[in-house]
C-alpha cells in the first residue's frame, strides 16, 4: 500500500482507514462507558447493602427483639420514633436518607423521569382524578422527585375542577403552560360555584375545555363565557340528562358565546346542547361530534352550522337541519341517533349532506331494539344491519349514495314471518351483484325464496338463515332449501324449532 506523508514528514492515514479507526475508537468508548456505568451501579448496590447492614444493627440496639430485624421493620421503628432528639434515632434517619439516595431510580436523568411522570398524568385512558392521585403519590417518594414534580408546570396542566383543592394547587403550579380543564357534574349541589370565574381567569392558556354540567346551570356559560380563547383547540360541552331539574328542549348556547373568539378550535363535541350555526368558531373545524339523546318538541330549522364549516374533516352528528352542504374534505362521518325520531333525524342529515365516496362512515339509527339501522363503510368491506323495517323506506333509499354494501344482516324482529316486504325493500336499494355475505333472521324459507329469486347474486359467497320458523310441508321445505343452496357456495340454515313427525 502506498504511504501518504504530511509536509513535516509524518504519515497520513488514508480516509478509509481513518474512518475505521474512528469507528473502533467509538466502539471502545461505548464499551468503556457501559463498563463504567456497570461498575457504578455495582458500587452503589454494594454501598446500599453496607448501609442496610448498619441500619439493621442500629435498630437491633434501639429495639432489641427475638425476631430478626429487617429493613421494613427498621423503617417502622424510625416512623414510630420521630420526631426525636435521640442521637441514635437521628443516625438512623441519616442512614435511611443515604440508602434512598443510592437507589437506582436516582440515576435516571430528569428528562426521563419527567417523561414517566407525564405519562402517568396525561394518559388518555386515565381519568384526570386518577392521574392527579398518581402525581401526588409520586411526589411523596423522595425529596428529589418532589422538587422535580413541583417545579415542572407541564405536569400540572390536566386539571379536574371537581377536585377543588387540587385544582387550585394545579392552576398555580401550571403557571402559563396550556392547560386542560375538565368538569363532569350532574347535579348543581356538587358543581363548584366558581367554575365560570376559573374559566374566565385562565382563558388565555386553556387548550382543552371539557364540561358536563346540569341543565339548570347552562346559563352560567351564557352569561360568563370569556371573550377570547386564543389557544383553545378542543371544546366539549355536555348537558347532564340525569339532572332532575331538566324540563323541555335541550338548551341552545347563544349570548356571550356568539362573541367569543376561538381561532384555534379544531374539535367540537356537543352532547344534548346546540350552538347557533352562525358562530364563527365553526369555520375552522376539523372534527365535529353532536349527540342528541333528548327528544326536542320539534325539529329546529337551524340548530347546526354545517354551511359555516368548509374545512370540516370529521363529523359525528345527531341533529342537522341545514340546506344541502358539500363537505369535500370529509374523512369520517358518524351519525348516531337514538329515540323515537331517530330515523327522521337521520334522513334529515343524509338529505342535507353531500358525502365524498372516500369518507369512512358509521351510521346508527335506532328507535328501539327491534327497529333501526346500523351501517359502516371504510377500510373494511361495507356492512349493513337492518332490524325490522329499519325505520322506513326513505332511510333505506338514502343508502344508495354510499359505496356498494358487501355484507348484510337483516333481523326481522317482531315481524310477521310470512311478510317478505322488508327484505324486498332492503334488496331493492342494494346492488346485489356486489353482495358477498347475507344473513337473514326470523324469516321463513318461503319468504326468503320469494325475496331472493330473480336477482343477481353472482358475488355471494356465504348466506345464512337463522331462527327460521317451520311453515309448510317437508316437500316444500326441501324444495326451498334446494333453491337457496344454489345461490352461494356456503349456505347455513338453523330452524327455530325441530320438525315434528
**DSSP annotation of 339:** S
Rounded to 5°, angle at Cα 426 from 421 and 432: 125
Strands 353-354 and 332-338: unpaired
**Share of the chain residues as helix, strand and coil, in percent rounded to the nearest 5:** 40, 20, 40
**Can you give the pLDDT at residue 284?**
67
Question: What is each CA distance from 292 to 188, 324, 337, 360, in whole angstroms?
Answer: 22, 21, 7, 21
Percent of all residues in the chain with a pLDDT value above 90, rounded to a whole number: 17
Q: Is the dihedral of CA 268, 274, 277, 281 positive or negative?
A: negative
Whether residue 269 contacts residue 237, with contact meaning beta carbons closer than 8 Å, is answered with yes
Q: Is the dihedral of CA 470, 471, 476, 481 positive or negative?
A: negative
If we measure between CA atoms, which residue out of 153, 55, 47 comes closest to residue 102?
47
**Can you give the pLDDT at residue 181?**
95
**Can you give the pLDDT at residue 259?**
72
Q: In 10 A of CB 48, how many CB atoms?
A: 18
pLDDT band per the 50, 70, 90 thresholds, residue 319: very low
Instruction: With H, G, I as helix, E, B as strand and everything else as coil, classify residue 380.
Output: coil
All 3 cell numbers of residue 396? 333505506
Rg (CA), the chain: 35
**Can you give the pLDDT at residue 463?**
92
Which range is least confidently modeled, 6-10, 42-46, 262-266?
6-10
Strands 383-387 and 407-411: parallel
**Of 130-144, 187-201, 390-404, highest mean pLDDT:** 130-144
pLDDT single digits (tens) 428-473:
777 788 888 998 888 888 888 888 888 889 999 999 998 888 888 8
Rounded to 5°, angle at Cα 481 from 476 and 483: 100
Higher pLDDT residue, 139 or 180?
180
The mean pLDDT of 368-383, rounded to a whole number, is 78
CB-based contacts of 288, cutoff 8 Å, min separation 6: 267, 268, 269, 282, 309, 312, 314, 315, 316, 317
Q: How far apart are CA 402 and CA 356, in angstroms?
A: 9
pLDDT band per the 50, 70, 90 thresholds, residue 317: very low
pLDDT single digits (tens) 197-249:
899 899 999 999 998 888 766 666 666 778 889 999 999 988 876 544 444 55
Whether residue 366 contacts residue 343, with contact meaning beta carbons closer than 8 Å, is answered with no
Amino acid at each position: 500500500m502506498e504511504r501518504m506523508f504530511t509536509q513535516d514528514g509524518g504519515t497520513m492515514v488514508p480516509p478509509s482507514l481513518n474512518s475505521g479507526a474512528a469507528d473502533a475508537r467509538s466502539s471502545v468508548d461505548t464499551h468503556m462507558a457501559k463498563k463504567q456505568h456497570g461498575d457504578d451501579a455495582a458500587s452503589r448496590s454494594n454501598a446500599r447493602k453496607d448501609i442496610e447492614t448498619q441500619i439493621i444493627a442500629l435498630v437491633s440496639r434501639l429495639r432489641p427483639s427475638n425476631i430478626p430485624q429487617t429493613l421494613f421493620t427498621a423503617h417502622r421503628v424510625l416512623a414510630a420514633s420521630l420526631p426525636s432528639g435521640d442521637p441514635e434515632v437521628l443516625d438512623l434517619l441519616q442512614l435511611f436518607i443515604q440508602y434512598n439516595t443510592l437507589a437506582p431510580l436516582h440515576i435516571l436523568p430528569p428528562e426521563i423521569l419527567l417523561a414517566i411522570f407525564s405519562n402517568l398524568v396525561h394518559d388518555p385512558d386515565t381519568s384526570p382524578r386518577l392521574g392527579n392521585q398518581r402525581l401526588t403519590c409520586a411526589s411523596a417518594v423522595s425529596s428529589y422527585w418532589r422538587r422535580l414534580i413541583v417545579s415542572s408546570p407541564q405536569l400540572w396542566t390536566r386539571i379536574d375542577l371537581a377536585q377543588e383543592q387540587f385544582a387550585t394547587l394545579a392552576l398555580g403550579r401550571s403557571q402559563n403552560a396550556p392547560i386542560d380543564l375538565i368538569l363532569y357534574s350532574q347535579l348543581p349541589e356538587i358543581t363548584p360555584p366558581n367554575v365560570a370565574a376559573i374559566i374566565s381567569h385562565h382563558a388565555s392558556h386553556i387548550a382543552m375545555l371539557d364540561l358536563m354540567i346540569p341543565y339548570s346551570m347552562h346559563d352560567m356559560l351564557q352569561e360568563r363565557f370569556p371573550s377570547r380563547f386564543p389557544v383553545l383547540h378542543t371544546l366539549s360541552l355536555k348537558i347532564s340528562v340525569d339532572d332532575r331539574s331538566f324540563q323541555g328542549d335541550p338548551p341552545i348556547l347563544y349570548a356571550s358565546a356568539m362573541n367569543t373568539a376561538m381561532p384555534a378550535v379544531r374539535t367540537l363535541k356537543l352532547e344534548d346542547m346546540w350552538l347557533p350555526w352562525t358562530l364563527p368558531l365553526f369555520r375552522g373545524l376539523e372534527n365535529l361530534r353532536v349527540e342528541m339523546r333528548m327528544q326536542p318538541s320539534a325539529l329546529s330549522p337551524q340548530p347546526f352550522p354545517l354551511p359555516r364549516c368548509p374545512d370540516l374533516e370529521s363529523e359525528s352528528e345527531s341533529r342537522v337541519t341545514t340546506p344541502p352542504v358539500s363537505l369535500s374534505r370529509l374523512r369520517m362521518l358518524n351519525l348516531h341517533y337514538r329515540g323515537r325520531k331517530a330515523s327522521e333525524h337521520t334522513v334529515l342529515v343524509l338529505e342535507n349532506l353531500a358525502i365524498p365516496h372516500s369518507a369512512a362512515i358509521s351510521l346508527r339509527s335506532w328507535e328501539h331494539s327491534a327497529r333501526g339501522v346500523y351501517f359502516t363503510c371504510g377500510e373494511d368491506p361495507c356492512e349493513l344491519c337492518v332490524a325490522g323495517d329499519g325505520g322506513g323506506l326513505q332511510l333505506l333509499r338514502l343508502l344508495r349514495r354510499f359505496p356498494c354494501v358487501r355484507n348484510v344482516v337483516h333481523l326481522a324482529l317482531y315481524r310477521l314471518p310470512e311478510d317478505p316486504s322488508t327484505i324486498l325493500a332492503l334488496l331493492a336499494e342494494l346492488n346485489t351483484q356486489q353482495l358477498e355475505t347475507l344473513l337473514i333472521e326470523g324469516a321463513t324459507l318461503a319468504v326468503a325464496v320469494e325475496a331472493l329469486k330473480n336477482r343477481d347474486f353472482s358475488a355471494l359467497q356465504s348466506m345464512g338463515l337463522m331462527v327460521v320458523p317451520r311453515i309448510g310441508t317437508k316437500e316444500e321445505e326441501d324444495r326451498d332449501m334446494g333453491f337457496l343452496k344454489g345461490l352461494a357456495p356456503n349456505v347455513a340454515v338453523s330452524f327455530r324449532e325441530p320438525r315434528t313427525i
